[in-house]
Structure 1
Amino acid sequence: MRAEHQDITERLIGFLRDYYREEVAQLAQHYPQEQRSLHVRYDDVFRFDPDLADDIQEHPREMLEYFEEALRLYDLPVDVSLSDAHVRIHDLPDDIVLDVAEVPRKENIGKLLGIRGQVQKVSAVKPRIVEATFECQRCGTQTDILQTGDQLDEPHECQGCERQGPFRPDSSASTWTDHQFARIQQPPERTKGGEGETIDVHLEDDLIQSFDAGDRVTLTGILDTEEPGSNQSLDFDTTVDGQAVVREESSYDDIDISEHRDEIEAIAAGEHGDPYDLLVQSINPGHEGHEVVKLAIALQLFGGWSRGGQTRGDSHLLLMGDPGCGKSTFLKAANDLAPRSTYASGKGATAAGLTAAAVADDFGDAEWGLEAGALVLADGGVACIDEIDKVNDNVISSLHDALESQKVRVNKAGINATLNARTAMLAAGNPKYGRFDNYEPIAEQLDLGPTLMSRFDLMFMVSDSPDKETDRGVVNHQMRSRRAKAKKELGKELTEEERKSIEPDIPHQTLRAYIAYAKDEVTPYIRAENEETQEYLREEFLKIRLANADEEDNPVPVTYRQEEAIERLAEASARVRLSDEVRREDVDRALTLVRKSMEQVGIDPESGQFDVDVVETGQSKSQRDRRKQVLAIIEDQDGTTAEEVAEIIDMDEEKIRHDIDSLKQNGKIYETRGKLRKS
């Protein structure tokens, strides 16, 4: 047996000499402060000796011990001992790189596996004892005990006086390592709805803090079983002993773009028709109408260029409408199409559910851990948030910075972390009074607050207003779609109209690859030499900004944030063509969407005119002026009623009561003994 061990060790020394001579020399120069591990590619071992590679996968613990022994015995060019250095095998072949859901299987126990997933949470780092030194309190003899389990093992008897203690641990003489737990989950876009399966991973030494919550990783580890509890159950929980970690650099490594590249380039070049029309038809084809919304979602999926994370490239989009108008179908369509996405409901959401938070751990022995929410988990993609109007105030406040800076900051329980949330938000909201009131500004009825609403680049109504011709078209589309699904299930041939009612012009997998390719490879911006496009954007934005200007009333202007929104959308439009140059046509497409959005949200229902105040503050100028008048009358009368105020102003009493209720909520007036008074 000893000869066999020696033979394996010598073969591994030969491997290191042939394949990793320079890497071992570099490790020796930087060990132990700057580097403590030698990273070895599995494929290199396989090319050297396939049998050794198979042994590493089947018996990883024993083989890693041989590998580290070979490293210790290696003839180094400098006088350094690598006695505690690690060998970390990574880059395993695809057939043993598994999704999280595939890991906890009986055939994988004790094997070396690759695990592809997303970090849901990480614990705090703590010291763990590896070899404990105990001192006999009778004779002072010290005994070293190697620790292998989760409970501290003490000596059975003293090696000096041969008595059974008592013993005192000597912390300074013991050997320690840093360790950490992490929970890896199935990425949201691979779960087909619902919560993804998870598995816990134990990390030690230089593997700690290799990633943050929300990161995508490919982890190499050994699947272990945990000891059953006191009930002696036959079911064992599993955990992974981490051996190596590679954090994904590209956002879309799991999408095979090369398979669809020719088709993508043909679509972008217009060989199958206008690519923007194809995109509109491919976004939620089961929903009739709302082409502007579909184009906005398409451009949101492609996104603007973030300049390496230095500027926000993602557009945030808010859909508003009465319940049952199909807003959720748009969110589900985007969730299916985005190469990375999460889907969450605002109802009952916590700050951790949407951003991130320090939470009490339920794994390992750590007290607190860092857990990623929807925006962090969708980093590089789209976070679809339904019923955002149901989110409570403290969660809303956590979204402000996350949407603008695309960072989530957590400072609690000793955890200070900043996580990436380079995410586009597609949110849907219902009116606070059940259905939208045609006589009140739309922005005010959402109850989101002007600060959060200003974070959205585009806001659209998905309305349910009865209209004979429109309704006829919607009903015909629904009937045709249902009939087409039935015929397809029965294997019958579909007409072109029936096919279009259920199938997108761009196939699902092709469109996902198209988006991933454009976001990874295309870097569009307005070139300095393209003076015509620059001038056009500048002048058109100034028209929007100054359209509502009034020297006497000095209304709030459209902010410069809107200009950045136009550029983001124009860059996304260029990405659809796979072009690195933003042209005038891209700016025009972005301006059309921005104007449509502002018209829908910024119409003063009383005057029927566009009012920028509605967009920026949620309140129209006419409404604000009337409430000032109501406030002045109440102050002057020093005790009056809604009926009396309506009579003085000569206006509908119901509208005045609505204004009074709003002023009460803002703390500007109060009511006592049936009389209204100024606060």
Structure 2
Amino acid sequence: MIRKATEVRPRITKAAFECLRCGHITFVDQNSFKFEEPFAGCEDENCGKKGPFKVRIEDSTFIDAQKLQIQESPENLKGGSQPQSLEVDSEDDLTGNVTPGDRVIINGILKSRQRTLKDGKSTFYDLVLEANSIEHLDKDYDELEITAEDEEEILELSHDPEIYNKIISSVAPSIYGYEDIKEALALQLFSGVVKNLPDGSRIRGDIHIMLVGDPGIAKSQLLRYVVKLSPRGVFTSGRSASASGLTAAAVKDDLNDGRWTIEGGALVMADMGIAAVDEMDKMKTEDKSALHEAMEQQTISIAKAGIIATLKSRCALLGAANPKYGRFDRYESLAEQISMPPALLSRFDLIFVLLDTPDHNMDTKIANHILQSHYAGELFEQRERLPGSHIKEDFVEAEMEVIEPVIQPELMRKYVAYARKNVFPVMEEDAKAYLISFYTDLRKTGESKNTPVPVTARQLEALVRLSEASARVRLSNTVTLEDAKRTIRIEMNCLKNVGVDPETGALMQIYLHLEQA
């Protein structure tokens, strides 16, 4: 993984020295890291003096050079060991291709260089890799290669009437149920359309989702699966994520001349992907405030250590939080239970509340699914690791079917990439009217002075984004009434638990009125 990358600078490889006495030009190759002058003196036979010389920039040869610092991928580490890092020198056309956070394979020649101290040379040597080639591992949606066969398969899938169910069952198949949440997560992958307006403003297309719920109901597992599906997915956890870790930090640059530089955090590294933040309730209050700008404007502005900069963080945020008292209380407001400011909560397009309520039928199904998953895993591990195992491969595959995604992750990624690249849906009139009537009816409940307003204009924008994502799922360039209805069904699933007073059920009446309409 690329940890740091300096800016691309010109490095001199052949210096042209002009003799100030006779004007003759002497060329000296610069192979080492120390700048070498013509020790033998002027090469002109009649002159031969040892100086003075002046470097002629226009006659010298330069090459682009960049220093990188790479670090072991966290997945390959053994427990307790820190990731090792290595310095890389890249030159010419290899420069400027990578940014911090990229996962790469670098081929090169490993060389050792002696350290220099203030009072001479050190006995220690540093390892440096001279890069010959750099290959990207995880590509953005825009960079995924989609062959003609892939495109054919994608288009065939999009015409399948069961496409929504297939995509929902391909998101975290090892977790039972939660169809509405999986549907929302699938829409988050596809995302709405980014609009760049003529006046220079930008409306985000990324969908932010928050999962709040009782412990032990697979929130983190859902987060990890979505990060795995997204090309630039970053996973962080609450207590270990600080404001500068999420946004950006000012650090002294060891690779260059010790100047202050900006190092991007998790939200910057997840640009054009998904950033998952688990245990959001455990974050410090001042760290949560760093998310405001990143979520709505999708930029991160910095004024630290004499550097004033704006970084891009065009990522969708997927958060998970546990309620304060361990279990969710339907009679208390959401903001109080997860100690998050309402201004931040309003920036989430969808907030799901997951309740762990005992239900004999459901519990039996979940228990069967969990045990089936474990059984399939046991069979697979025994077949792989035990030399004398009698378990046949087709038997393992048959048992694995329950937790096997309908659409394989690789194809799913390509399908999402194709949709995001080629599909830009436009909303039909009846879908517009349906969303407006839903929004205005919802706002009506806040007309009386003593009730809080349940929704803001942000929710209407969220409905538009979700409808666009729903059209993208079937690779359609029009948002139909069906998409609007699907979106409102998902929104109502959220509001049922978040915005409904359990005694009066105010929102439920609106929902019924809309269904009749």
Q: What TM-score do you get using the length of structure 1 for normalisation? A: 0.60
| Residue of structure 1 in register with 2:68 after alignment | 183
Deviation at 1:557, TM superposition (A): 5.1
Q: Kindly provide the amino acid, as one letter, of the partner of residue 283 in structure 1.
A: V
Amino acid at match of 2:68: R
Q: CA deviation at 1:283?
A: 1.2
Distance, in Å, in 2 between the alignment partners of 1:196 and 1:467 is 49
**Equivalent residue letter for 2:291:** L
Deviation at 1:274, TM superposition (A): 1.6
Structure with higher Rg: it is: 1
- The aligned amino acid for 2:269 is L
Residue 566 (structure 1) aligned with residue 463 (structure 2): yes
Between the aligned residues of both structures, percent identity stands at 36
How far apart are 1:568 and its partner, in Å? 0.7
Alignment partner of 1:534 is 2:432: yes
Deviation of 1:268 after TM superposition, in Å, equals 1.8
| Cα distance change of structure 1 residues 292 and 575 upon mapping to structure 2, 3 Å threshold | same
Question: 1:262 is matched with which residue?
Answer: 152
Equivalent residue in structure 2 for 1:151, among 24, 34, 39: 34
Q: 2:418: which partner in 1?
A: 517
Q: Deviations over 1:465-507 (max 9, x none)?
A: 3333322221121112222334455336569995553111222
Is the 1:351–1:398 contact (alpha carbons within 8 Å) kept by the matching residues of 2? Answer: yes
- Alpha-carbon distance, 1:291 to partner: 1.2
Aligned in 2, Cα 1:122/1:394: closer, same or farther, shift over 3 Å?
A: farther
User: Which residue is 1:52 aligned to?
Assistant: none
CA deviation digits over 1:627-648, x for unaligned, max 9? xxxxxxxxxxxxxxxxxxxxxx
Which is richer in helix?
1
Whether contact under 8 Å (1:124, 1:366) holds in the other structure is: no
2 CA distance for matches of 1:343 and 1:192? 16
SS in 1 for 2:176: coil
Distance 2:483 2:180 in 1: 15
C-alpha separation between the residues in 2 aligned to 1:345 and 1:325?
A: 17
1:545 alignment counterpart:
443
- Maintained 8 Å contact 1:487/1:493: no
Query: What is the CA-CA distance between 1:201 and the residue it aligns to?
Result: 4.2
Where does residue 380 of structure 1 map in the other structure?
272
1:593 aligns with 2:483: no
Q: In structure 2, what residue type is equivalent to 1:400?
A: H
Residue identity in the other structure for 1:358: A
Quote the Cα distance in structure 1 between the aligned partners of 2:454 and 2:183.
27
1:475 matched to 2:475: no
Query: Residues 147 and 501 of structure 1: is their aligned pair in 2 closer, same or farther, counting only changes over 3 Å?
Result: same
Residue 347 of structure 1 aligns to a residue in which SS? coil
Contact preservation (8 Å) 1:358, 1:370:
yes
**Is 1:402–1:421's contact at 8 Å kept on the other side of the alignment?**
yes
With normalisation by structure 2, the TM-score equals 0.77
Contact 2:211 2:319 in 1 (8 A): yes
SS of 1:296's equivalent in the other structure is helix
Return the alpha-carbon distance in structure 2 between the equivalents of residues 319 and 250 of structure 1. 25
CA separation in 2, counterparts of 1:198 and 1:544?
57
Once the two structures are superposed, the pairs formed by residues 88-107 of structure 1 within 5 Å of their partners are none
Q: Counterpart amino acid of 1:151? A: K
Aligned counterparts, 1:243-262, within 5 A: 251-262=141-152
User: SS of 2:447's equivalent?
Assistant: coil
Name the residue aligned to 1:122: 5
1:439 shift after superposition:
4.1
Cα-to-partner distance string for 1:191-236 (whole Å, 9 max, x where unaligned): 68998987634467x998x578459799999756352443355x83
Q: 2:316 aligns with which of 409, 416, 424?
A: 424
Say whether the 8 Å CA contact 2:3–2:71 is kept in structure 1.
no
Query: Which one has the bigger strand percentage?
Result: 2
Instruction: Output the CA distance in 2 between the equivalents of 1:300 and 1:357.
Output: 28
Determine the C-alpha separation between the residues in 1 that align with 2:407 and 2:392: 21
1:123, 1:180 within 8 Å by CA — same for their partners in 2? no
Partner of 2:276, secondary structure, is strand
Note if contact 2:146-2:414 (Cα within 8 Å) is conserved in structure 1: yes
- Contact preservation (8 Å) 1:347, 1:387: yes
Shift of 1:180: 6.5
Kindly indicate whether the alpha-carbon contact (under 8 Å) linking 2:89 and 2:129 is maintained by their aligned counterparts in 1: no
| Aligned partner letter, 1:510 | L
Letter in 2 for 1:278: K
2:179 is equivalent to residue 291 of structure 1: yes
The amino acid across from 2:193 in the alignment is: W
Separation (CA, whole Å) in 1 of partners of 2:132 and 2:250: 24
Q: Once the two structures are superposed, what CA deviation does each residue of 1:518-576 show, in whole Å capped at 9, x if it has no partner?
A: 111111121xxx32222112112212222x22333263352111111011111111111
Q: Once the two structures are superposed, what CA deviation does each residue of 1:403-452 show, in whole Å capped at 9, x if it has no partner? A: 11222333333444433322111111122344434542233211121122
Q: Aligned partners of 2:214, 2:139: CA distance in 1, in Å?
A: 41
Deviation at 1:172, TM superposition (A): 9.7
Match of 1:455 in 2: 347
Structure 1 position 603 matched with structure 2 position 495: no
Question: Are 2:169 and 1:281 equivalent residues in the alignment?
Answer: yes
Secondary structure of 1:237's counterpart equals: strand
Give the structure 2 partner of residue 108 of structure 1: none
Quote the residue 1:225 is aligned against.
111
Contact residue 11 and residue 65 of structure 2 kept, 8 A: no
Query: Aligned partners of 2:350, 2:235: CA distance in 1, in Å?
Result: 19
For the residue of structure 2 that corresponds to 1:597, the secondary structure is helix
Alignment root-mean-square deviation, CA? 4.5
Going from structure 1 to structure 2, the CA distance change for 1:522 and 1:199 (only over 3 Å counts) comes to farther
- Match of 1:375, SS state, is helix
In 2, the alpha carbon distance for the partners of 1:593 and 1:198 equals: 47
1:477–1:212 CA distance, 2 compared to 1 (3 A): closer
3-state secondary structure, aligned to 2:143: coil
AA in 2 matched with 1:513: K
Deviations 1:26-69 (A, max 9, x none): xxxxxxxxxxxxxxxxxxxxxxxxxxxxxxxxxxxxxxxxxxxx
**In the aligned structure 1, how far is the partner of 2:154 from the partner of 2:375?**
31
1:395 corresponds in structure 2 to 287
Paired residue type of 2:208: H
For each residue in 1:341-377, what CA deviation from the matched residue of structure 2 results, as whole angstroms up to 9, or x when unmatched? Answer: 2222222223343233332223243423332322222
Q: 1:121, 1:463 → 2: CA distance? A: 43
**Residue of structure 1 aligned with 2:357, choices 465, 471, 474:** 465
Deviation at 1:264, TM superposition (A): 2.4
How has the CA–CA distance of structure 1 residues 196 and 339 changed in structure 2, closer, same or farther, with 3 Å as cutoff? farther
Given that 2:278 and 2:319 are in contact with CA atoms closer than 8 Å, whether structure 1 keeps it comes out as yes
Unaligned segments of structure 1, at least 5 residues: 1-99, 101-118, 613-679
Question: Aligned runs of 1:34-49 on 2, under 5 Å?
Answer: none
**Can you list the C-alpha shifts for 1:97-123, whole angstroms capped at 9, x where unaligned?**
xxx7xxxxxxxxxxxxxxxxxx65433
Task: Give the whole-Å Cα distance in 1 for the aligned partners of 2:237 and 2:77.
Answer: 13
5+ residue gaps, structure 2, are 116-121, 384-390, 509-517
Task: Report what 2:260 is aligned to.
Answer: 368
Secondary structure of residue in 1 paired with 2:479: coil
Q: Which residue of 2 aligns with 1:238?
A: 129
SS in 2 for 1:227: strand
